[in-house]
Chains A and B, each alone.
Chain A
Amino acid sequence: MFRRAWLLVLLLSLALFLPACKRPKTVEEQVPPSPPPAPQPAAPAEPVPPEAATEVTEGFPEAGVEREALEPEIRDASHVLQTVYFAFDSYELDETAREALRRNARWLLDNPGRKIIVEGHCDERGTLEYNLALGERRAAAVRDYLVSLGVDARRVRIVSYGEERPADPGHTEEAWSRNRRAEFRFEL
């Protein structure tokens, strides 16, 4: 109930301000960024054009729509499935990558309902077309290893993005090493 009251106050104060400010930008600035102060009788006391007041009390149905942030795990699998990294122009899995993939495989075996997409990525060096094939090789190497550990191949799809989706937009060795990767998403 309190929430409704908040909303009403907010809308009322908006209705007060609206006629005064023509530019929408200004309206935005007038909206309290944090929860508005406690309800005061002051708002109705102000002279409000009757039409405007009527409209507000009737409400805008849209205001009743509630939004909830989705759990990140719906798409992004990085909190349970670890991203693995590669050397330049290589699609070999080193021991660090294999260790991470063994953990990933364990999770996948414990959660048989989830299907995944392995995305293969490259750093910006090299040609786009070769990097597209290289990204495919990286994603395929990850899939093959997961399958060798018992994950059903039908649960794993691969997509190469070549160098088109860098994790780090920088142009340094450090950025490049973060971009040569295979990362995981859940199929919806």
Chain B
Amino acid sequence: MKPYRSLAWMAAVPVFVLAASQEPPPRVTGTVEATGFTPVRIAVPTPAAEVGAAALAEQIAATVRDDLAFSGYFDVVAPELYRLVRPSTSSEIAFTEWRSIGAEALVVTRLGLVEGAVDLISWLYNTPDAALLFGHRYRAGPELVHRLAHRLADDIVRHYTGRPGIATSRIAFVSRDDGGSELYLMDYDGRHVRRLTTTGTLNLSPAWSPDGQRLAFVSWRTGRPDIFVLDDRGQLERLPVVAGEMNASPDWSPDGRRLAYVSNAPGNPEIFVLDLESGRNTRLTHSVAIETSPAFSPNGREIAFTSDRSGTPQIYLMDREGLNVRRLTVEGSYNESPAWSPRGDQLAYVSRVGGRFEIFVLDLPNGERRQLTFGPGSSENPRWSPDGRHLVFAANHTGTYDIYTMRADGTEVRRLTRGRDSVTPDWSR
């Protein structure tokens, strides 16, 4: 095994996707599915950068490190150790030295600015045998440099796990201010917050379409709660739902062709499904009680929802035609806000514990429930990350509501917003 690998050949390789060698890359550790997956120890040194791009280079490296650490699949070798290693040059990489500081994997990057655009060439190496695992080139305008870094991180995650990473995913939410509450968007890590609406009225409950290009949400812009869709080009559309004085709680079917929602058109809140192609509305529930919070299962065949038909809010399940209704939650006097895990085997929800509201997860195969949050204050509105390893939620731990994420087991709680009075987050798929 050569300790130093020549990089000279790379200059001649046509850019965009630099193919790795034909042999399958050696596996550093076990598979994702295996219990006790050992995180890969990876080093992400700051890209070699042109003059004037040093700040960007540092920003990119920091973002990739954060993304990899957050994924849970990696232990990022502390950047302070990187200066013990000779910097990579176009002719050699000191693999032995990278191994000596504990790096099993190494991300070598070079940053350039081409016609004002950021240009990042990156190679992923397995340090034990100096094997090239992949090479990619990324380009983006400087305003999208964070997304460029997230893309690289996701590609690294995908290489090791065979699954898409979540670093490019986004969280939609609502922040309240004096005039009302407006829709916002941020990266999964809480950075790059963008305001989407300026209505001066109330807006709530954004729900991502499966393709990530549309947000359904509830807005009072016509004087009553109604359902609108905002697309990624800024086009706003009112959906042809039934004529109720309250239309709310939108949720997309996994194929993006239908939208479940709640309307009081029949005289009390009932669950409907709108077929987006035909514009046809179908009523699914028939009771004198409150029905709300419909949530399509990932296979699209079932809908979880909340009903107080028993006297208290409880979570039920029905077929997508509205048949075969059965109650899911049995413990507690207030269970609401069901959210399916991407694999459909777990349901996160909110349950009242004493005077507070906490997030629980119901394991559907065996019916066991686990409490994930334990105050202070209340935690609400759980929604899963696209990889099912994290949850986003709103909590008033500090007295005002903010958006937080946590691991699906309730650990590693991270606060994403700061005192914005932010609620109803939804994580893009």
Contact = CB atoms under 8 A, between A and B. Distances in A.
A127 B334 CA distance: 10
Contacts of B176: 164
B127 interface: no
B428 interface: no
Contacts of B181: 164
Size bracket of the B interface: 35 or more
A136 B355 CA distance: 23
B248 A129 contact: yes
A135 to B, nearest CB: 8
Contacts of A171: 399
A89 interface: yes
Contact of A126 (B204, B205, B267, B357): B357
A128 B381 contact: yes
A136 B225 CA distance: 10
Contact of A136 (B246, B381, B423): B246
Contacts of A130: 290, 292-293, 306, 313, 336-337
Given A137-B269, A158-B245, A129 B337 contact: yes
Nearest to B289: A137
A114 interface: no
A89 B289 CA distance: 13
B245 A132 contact: no
A129 B336 contact: yes
Interface residues of A, number: 22
Contacts of A10: none
A140 interface: yes
A129 B223 contact: no
Contacts of A165: 202
B202 A164 contact: yes
A157 B336 CA distance: 28
B262 interface: yes
Contact of A132 (B248, B268, B334, B378): B248
B292 A89 contact: no
Given A133-B290, A134-B290, A140-B264, A127 B248 contact: no
A125 interface: yes
Nearest to B270: A133
B245 A133 contact: no
Contact of B292 (A133, A140, A157, A158): A133
Nearest to B291: A133
A129 B205 contact: yes
A165 B201 CA distance: 11
Contacts of B267: 140
Interface in B202-231: 202, 204-205, 218, 220, 223-225
A136 B334 CA distance: 18
B423 A128 contact: yes
B312 interface: yes
Interface string A10-40: 0000000000000000000000000000000
Contact of A137 (B223, B248, B268, B334): B268
A161 B357 contact: no
Given A89-B312, A130-B336, A133-B262, A140 B268 contact: yes
A120 B424 CA distance: 20
Contacts of A161: 202, 220
Interface string B19-34: 0000000000000000
Interface string B267-292: 11100000000000000000000111
A163 B350 CA distance: 17
Interface in B344-398: 350, 352, 355, 357, 378, 380-381
Interface string A144-178: 00000000000001111110110000010000000
B224 A159 contact: yes
A127 B382 CA distance: 11
A160 B334 contact: no
13 contacts: A126-B313, A126-B352, A127-B293, A127-B336, A129-B205, A130-B292, A136-B246, A137-B268, A137-B290, A140-B268, A160-B246, A164-B181, A164-B202
Given A125-B378, A128-B204, 12 more contacts: A125-B355, A126-B313, A126-B357, A129-B204, A129-B336, A132-B225, A132-B246, A159-B246, A160-B224, A160-B245, A161-B202, A171-B399
Interface of A: 89, 125-130, 132-134, 136-137, 140, 157-162, 164-165, 171
